[in-house]
Amino acid sequence: MPELPEVNTLARALDHQLKGDSIISWQPLAPKLRKPLPDTQSAEVILEQTIRRVFRQAKSIFFEFATGHYLHVHLGMTGYFRLTNDNSDPDKHRHLVIELLSGRTLSYFDPRKFGVVEILHRLPDKVPEPFKDDLSIEYIRLACQKSRRAIKTMIMDQSIIAGLGNIYAGEALFKAGIMPDRPASELSKAEVTRLYNAMLEVIDSAVTAGLKSLLPNFYIDEETTHFEIDTSVYQKAGLLCCQCRKQSIEKIDIGGRSSFYCRNCQK
């Protein structure tokens, strides 16, 4: 599932390509994804309206129109866009075709159909994201005090921190030297501070890598959310820890998600 840096990369590419353009034709090809797709009549409120900007909030993408309406897209597990110069893509997983005033076609694909495409009249309430100007150490400390859940489960809770998913949560906990199954309320003030700094560093590094991957052409296709990131523990079970070089990376299940850690480096 695309996490915050991947969704951010696609949102920036969409904004670069589509800002100032407008939708002239809306063609749903499947009745529903996770929710029913807006039909042609429902989409009339955004047709022929200027796209002011495309941006990310949490793990969602929003197209903002001059009317004040928003097209909300959540990629689910396998969603992606393709921006092409014609409308001839025969892919069976194409669920929505959007023709643009510029003559281009934006298509949405989703093999597993867990994504969401909907039209909103207002943005959802914003939850703090893992950036310095949006998240504070004190906020994390208070959230930890209130929770007996595993710290990895808590920081992945989208109602507490928006956008932090399985990969980056695990990487941040490794960088902070904290076991992912520790009860959140047991973390010391120093550990909370290390975790805060680690989350910001991990996300910032991945966001930067994603933006660099767009250059120079800002292509939009199934590969836009796939770019190289440096990971220390994710999917490295059995390999020697890159930090201590003494212990192999292990894997446990936390909340139905695979979690990777070094028993020597994380306490």
Strands 23-28 and 80-84: unpaired
Q: Report which DSSP code applies to 159.
A: T
Q: What angle do CA 171, 172, 175 make, to 5 degrees?
A: 90
Residue 249 one-letter amino acid: I
Return the closest-CA partner of residue 11 out of 65, 105, 80.
80
Per the annotation, the verdict on 3 as an active-site residue is yes
Catalytic residue among 56, 59, 149, 182: 59
19, 94, 104, 257: the active-site residue = 257
Both tokens assigned to 215: 């250059």
CB 266 within 8 A of CB 178: yes
| 48 is annotated as an active-site residue | no
Q: How far apart are the C-alpha atoms of 162 and 77, rounded to whole Å?
A: 17
Within 10 angstroms of residue 197's Cβ, the number of other Cβ atoms is 15
- Nearest of 21, 74, 26, 13 to residue 52 by alpha carbon: 21
What residues does 22 pair with on adjacent strands?
A: 50
Which residues form the catalytic set? Answer: 2-3, 59, 257
